[in-house]
Structure 1
């Protein structure tokens, strides 16, 4: 399959046009794109935006309607969607496709998937997370910065039983430490091959994939890209993984912690800023020139400091579900440490920090982002926090190089290290009490996030789990 995205990027139109003064595509260009789609066998297009949770939404249109579709002809009742900030009496929102990325579905090339932005009255609708990310990217652009992002894609492939419970598909995938296991990898070869082949065909630059730390857990790593493109790819990746798993009679789940006694699924954000004129990585310098020895610039340290300053609030978008905080534990019910970041701290190749600078330098990895995050929302707030650190020339202090899991509370206090939120309720409270989040997202999206996530916690807290029945039903 041809990566059609590269064809349209050859028009030299930057990804993300919603804040440009004029529409970026001429009628001749739209006609050329429509012709290429027809030649590729495409019959339908969908302009796919996301709701508050990062779930793709959209209408399908026939290719004959392409020109109108490209200008935002498709209207939506926002009240029918989670977190889009509309009431039943509000005007409809539109979706305008970003033609810098067009992906014919690898499993059905008659349908072209195109990421889209919401507008209201022909203006960017800033209650949409993809729109907000572009707004923050514009602020970075005014400083001369672009943002590169790589997301490590982790997930479980499981069998769902008739009663809704899930289990590992093959019973001999039962090793205590199954990380990198070749036999268990080959057990899921058909699904893995479909995924890897599609990622390569799409031109994303897959460079490794493996059986991860938990049973029937896998990870895919492909090249980083500008932040908007990477968030689009991650959104499509999740949709593609679910489809190919369903072909095998299985479920691909991005639930961060589906099994209490196994490692959870992260979506580590690997971030750097680059010079918009030269493309130079502004975070990288030789280790020998870095007084702290991590191989990053003072700009990177300021970026890190900004994220640490707002770490508890950011946690609500990096880890946005009740289940997320079952992953963010030191050990839990596992036989060994969880790898999960529970501390608002940074260091070099030390995976007990929430922010890690890999040995190669030049980038900052946020480890508390998980597989359920809305990538646009998380990236927007991470970038905004990092830019604040740069503007205010903040200093993150010394990197932490010890195993933080083993420190006592007094030792943590001596080092000035605090723990990140331990429940969704704590995270939402931190999000709500930090003025930075409202300032970045605006009143409506801020209120929508707090409202939906507070309700998610309320419903969870008032539900009765099987654990409670097993523990208490016969106890008294």
Structure 2
């Protein structure tokens, strides 16, 4: 590798991907596994996986030069209600997607295929220092860069474990709500034995450290979990898990649904984020001198930052119109305000152990790269300004009811809070923040224009 100071980030990535030892190791792996096709994949702002498939015969060329695509793909090629293509317009430049070699894996359901996660860059030919720079709307690259910068400033590493829920249905599966909750019920779980066995097996084959799985409280609602990891790797793992779910659903002729509120009588699908901060291999959230559920000073300030910015972060943590059907339901397990408690599942943030914070706001449609980026920004603000989280829920201190705001109850309300908070928008960067808001504001407008079944039922026979 060269030590030129004028080379771009794209140049540096290409140098990594042309390292002889790394390339030889990768080619040996591809040859041994008899891989014929390679997916080069990226993730859009809404969490969709996009990319190209490359014949393995062109692997060396692909990892050196990358693949290109129109940047509006990162906005799902959506047009707003006025017909404008979001994400740069039709004339927008392509980006270059460069595979991260350490993310290569063979797909266990078809070992002729493998995949890379990619980071995205501006075209090399652009002038004035832009060419070859990181693409600002690359959600995966953004989290990686911001976590690296956070560690450089604080000496801390954010680790996370997510709890992704999904609703499964299909032939011969009774989706009716039983008279007794199916949560953690083994017989309810065994009705989905082929599902959870394949989820765990495929997850392990793709490098996920699967640790447990259970049936949740809604019909057909499963939650398989893997071990916590550095935040950017956990975000990758969430995306991999969703891809596995889609594959298992295809194989078994089932439907998997990540909607936060798939039906009126459902509590809904969440994706709690369990966060901890590490320095030199030690979890610094825990107070080593305290007994019971007690946070260190760093932990309290991190919690204070999360609560301070929870309302603004909700647009990212609950990113769909449907997300807020989950928040406004009369369920004790879904938070309604920014508060915290010790092993209290009614709160926005739960302290189940002394060494982790369970953020309970995120739902199953969350983009994990965006969610971890805004939580990282909130945590750093809490550390920087030494924000006191106040007393836990369940105490007699009256500050608990007024210290932090209620959570938004509609996507429109959440977007207004998001736009007004420079810490949260700053955690994503201006380009991602503006494009995210444009996509979601358009989604809200389309919802407001739609005539729903509820409206037909409520109003069709009214008027005289």
Correspondence for 1:321 = 320
Correspondence for 1:197 = 201
* Deviation per residue, 1:76-126 (Å, 9 max, x gap): 011244178322222210111122222211211111122111111322112
2:23 partner SS? helix
Correspondence for 1:177 = 181
Q: Is the 8 A contact 2:376 2:427 kept in 1?
A: no
2-structure distance, mates of 1:418, 1:385? 15
1-structure distance, mates of 2:199, 2:298? 37
Correspondence for 1:303 = 302
**TM-score normalised to structure 2 length:** 0.88
2-structure distance, mates of 1:154, 1:171? 16
1:228 partner SS? helix
1:345 and 1:207, CA in 2 relative to 1: closer, same or farther beyond 3 A? Answer: same
Between stretches 52-61 and 442-451, larger displacement belongs to 442-451
Correspondence for 2:344 = 350
2-structure distance, mates of 1:224, 1:271? 9
Corresponding residue pairs, total: 436
1:413 and 1:152, CA in 2 relative to 1: closer, same or farther beyond 3 A? Answer: closer
1:420 partner SS? coil
Q: Is the 8 A contact 1:18 1:131 kept in 2?
A: no
Q: Is the 8 A contact 1:284 1:297 kept in 2?
A: yes
**2:170 is equivalent to residue 159 of structure 1:** yes
Q: Is the 8 A contact 1:34 1:63 kept in 2?
A: no
Between stretches 373-382 and 21-30, larger displacement belongs to 21-30
Correspondence for 1:61 = 54
Correspondence for 1:239 = 243
2-structure distance, mates of 1:372, 1:20? 34
Correspondence for 2:368 = 375
Select which of 379, 382, 386 maps to 1:386.
379
User: How much has 1:364 moved relative to structure 2?
Assistant: 0.8
1-structure distance, mates of 2:356, 2:285? 6
1:329 and 1:301, CA in 2 relative to 1: closer, same or farther beyond 3 A? Answer: same
User: How much has 1:401 moved relative to structure 2?
Assistant: 2.7
2:111 partner SS? strand
2:223 partner SS? strand
Correspondence for 1:439 = 426
Correspondence for 2:117 = 115
User: How much has 1:171 moved relative to structure 2?
Assistant: 5.2
Q: Is the 8 A contact 1:412 1:418 kept in 2?
A: no
1:58 partner SS? strand
Select which of 207, 212, 217 maps to 2:216.
212
Q: Is the 8 A contact 1:74 1:95 kept in 2?
A: yes
Correspondence for 2:264 = 260
C-alpha RMSD of matched pairs (Å) = 2.4
**2:459 is equivalent to residue 459 of structure 1:** no
2-structure distance, mates of 1:299, 1:19? 36
- Name stretches of at least 5 consecutive residues in structure 2 with no aligned partner: 1-7, 77-85, 124-131
**2:462 is equivalent to residue 470 of structure 1:** no
1:414 and 1:153, CA in 2 relative to 1: closer, same or farther beyond 3 A? Answer: closer
Correspondence for 2:67 = 74
Correspondence for 1:6 = none
2-structure distance, mates of 1:465, 1:330? 18
User: How much has 1:402 moved relative to structure 2?
Assistant: 6.5
Select which of 2, 16, 30 maps to 1:24.
16
2:436 partner SS? helix
User: How much has 1:172 moved relative to structure 2?
Assistant: 6.1
1:347 and 1:397, CA in 2 relative to 1: closer, same or farther beyond 3 A? Answer: same
1-structure distance, mates of 2:363, 2:425? 22
2-structure distance, mates of 1:349, 1:392? 26
- Name stretches of at least 5 consecutive residues in structure 1 with no aligned partner: 1-16, 161-167, 332-336, 404-410
Q: Is the 8 A contact 2:332 2:346 kept in 1?
A: no
**TM-score normalised to structure 1 length:** 0.86
Q: Is the 8 A contact 2:311 2:408 kept in 1?
A: yes
1:68 and 1:51, CA in 2 relative to 1: closer, same or farther beyond 3 A? Answer: same
1:193 partner SS? helix
